[in-house]
Amino acid sequence: MPPVEPALVPAPRTVEESAPGGFPLTPDTPLWAGPGTGTTERWLRSTLGPALGLRFPPGTEDTRDGLRLRLDDTLAPEAYRLAVLPGRGVEIAGGGPAGVFWGAQTLRQLLGPDAFRKAPVRPGATRTVPHRIVEDGPRFRWRGLMLDVARHFMPKEGVLRYLDLMAAHKLNVLHFHLTDDQGWRIEIERYPRLTETGSWRARTKLGHRASPLWNDTPHGGHYTQDDIREIVAYAAERHIAVVPEIDVPGHSQAAIAAYPELGNTDVVDTSSLTVWDTWGINPNVLAPTDTTLRFYEGVLEEVLELFPADATGPSAFASSSSSLPFSSFSSFVHIGGDECPKDQWRASDVAQKRIADLGLADEDALQSWFIGHFAGWLAERGRRLIGWDEILQGGLAPGAAVSSWRGYAGGVAAARAGHDVVMCPEQHVYLDHRQDAGPEEPVPIGYVRTLEDVYRFEPVPAELTPEDAGRVLGTQANAWSEVTENQARVDYQVFPRLAALAEVAWSALPAPAERDFAGFERRMAAHYRRLDALGVAYRPPAGPLPWQRRPGVLGRPIDGAPPQR
């Protein structure tokens, strides 16, 4: 890669010094926003302005002593050109509204860590933007973070905060894991017991599922429909698509506890089930009945209203990502599809009759039929299904996409079969996994995945042909929450590794072994000051602080290097 500004994360394509010195921003510096740049103008006035005491009075297109925002159709939609020139002020040009917004995030970094605060800490100080020309744009269109709010609920304010943190790192997809065995987090008006019963559990396993410890305080919470609308609107202002996940047919005990008829009632007394209070793979799965299908169609009807798609037309449903626009990411609905044990279906006369009536080979084919039903149902409404890589078993409907989590193999198989793929293998980008092998690491889960490990993660498998590689939409980090019970714990697990993932997703990095991790660490030294200003309780490079440790709480560490495939 060419040399980059030391403090910029993720690394831009090119940075040039246009002249010595810089352009001073004062409270009287005017701001002009051209057509299509309103989201960036609002963000500058509501976020950057209050941080630095800048009023941004209105300017004109010809303003030479201010900040100008404009669209430039010669650039790719998310690309931008940030030019700070003597006598010309600051201009951010983007190929689309998102490009202008990402350029504003770079401007914020150039202004120093004070720009990441809520109010001025040095009132009246002149802020100087160095004379630079930054040409930049993303490698991948899907640059995501999955937040699991089902195992441990994250209040709405925490979600909004994470959307701001994503925007600061040029991430553009929030995968919102809303339902699981341990909790149902989204209000569905026609099925009120999903939140009345399904959003609370009586107690919670403390640590790994083998731990003898329990937290006996009831845990729960959910988002009202207006909360969801607010989250989606807040994300859209930051050019972030929100992809909801409603997990089926496994990971569904919270729903079955609320509506027992959804379970395999001829095998287990579903009326005795409660919201699950521990971790692992749950044997209680949805029954493959018409009652279940109609129930989840009702759920999804409300979900589609709360998470509206902003793209229509053939390009939103192309099987190849080469014609898939960013805006269509909001057309996706994630249905889970992972870790669905088949024991109850094997023992259920109802399930076996369904297999026979459909002429299916076995229970795996029954799950494929179940997933296929919702793929077709969503497609009829102009939406796209995405699920974990288990949905490939038994075949997958055209237009459906895959989140490859069990290594690379699922993504390779999906791409070769013509499906779009988001690469998020657990061995590399599961941020609940421990960051060091040391005994002070809190609740050690899984493989050691250091900051450098994440930085050297490559989303595109080498064995894919160029055509198949084009179906890799991008990548995301997954933050599962079994052992992250509050904001500080989430911050510790997610940061600073999310900054590394953001650079992997955005920047045109060389092959993993050739990446300049030492240079990234030098830039991170400045970036930690930004995270400090934002109040992020990240893992320090030297290891956890005393209050970040969790002595005596059993984890599940896995020794050795993770498999690469």
Q: How far apart are alpha carbons 131 and 85 in whole angstroms?
A: 6
Catalytic residue among 180, 420, 491, 503: 180
Q: Which helix (H) or strand (E) holds 335?
A: strand 332-336
Contact 96, 60 (CB under 8 A): no
Distance from C-alpha of 527 to C-alpha of 536, rounded to nearest angstrom = 11
Are 489 and 483 in contact by the 8 Å Cβ rule? The answer is yes
Name the nearest CA neighbour of 195 among 173, 227, 147, 167.
227
Nearest-10 Cα torsion for 296, 298, 304, 307: -80
Q: What are residue 384's DSSP bridge partners?
A: 332
Residues near 294 by beta carbon (within 8 Å), at least 6 away in sequence: none
Q: How many CB atoms lie within 10 A of CB 434?
A: 21
- For strands 204-205 and 89-94, give the pairing: unpaired
Q: Select which of 164, 237, 339, 458 is catalytic.
A: 339
Active site residue 514: no
**Whole-number Å distance between alpha carbons of 446 and 426:** 9
Q: At how many degrees (to 10) do helices 487-494 and 156-168 cross?
A: 20
Per-residue tokens: 521: 């660490």
- Whether omega before 546 lies within 30 degrees of 0, making that bond cis, reads no
Count of C-beta atoms within a 10 Å radius of residue 218:
12
The percent of the chain in helix, strand and coil, each rounded to the nearest 5, is 35, 20, 45
Give me the residues paired with residue 204 across strands: 215
In the residue annotation, 334 being an active-site residue is answered as: no
Among 152, 175, 251, 419, the one annotated catalytic? 251
Dist. CA 140–CA 476, nearest whole Å: 10
Cα separation, 414 vs 425, whole angstroms = 14
Structure tokens of 232?
A: 């989606």
Tokens (6 digits) for 408 = 């690379």
Contact 63, 89 (CB under 8 A): yes
**CA dihedral of 246, 248, 251, 255, whole degrees rounded to 10:** 70
Q: Please list the alpha-helical segments (H only) found in 359-508.
A: 363-380, 409-416, 426-429, 451-455, 466-469, 487-494, 497-506
Q: Are 401 and 471 in contact (CB under 8 A)?
A: no
CB neighbours of 225 closer than 8 A, spacing ≥ 6?
186, 187, 189, 302, 306
Report whether 511 contacts 458 (CB < 8 A).
yes
Q: Which residues pair with 466 in a beta bridge?
A: none
Q: Torsion angle, CA of 134/135/139/140, rounded to 10 degrees?
A: 80
The tokens for 346 are: 């094997």
Establish whether 28 is a catalytic residue: no
Catalytic residues: 180, 251, 339
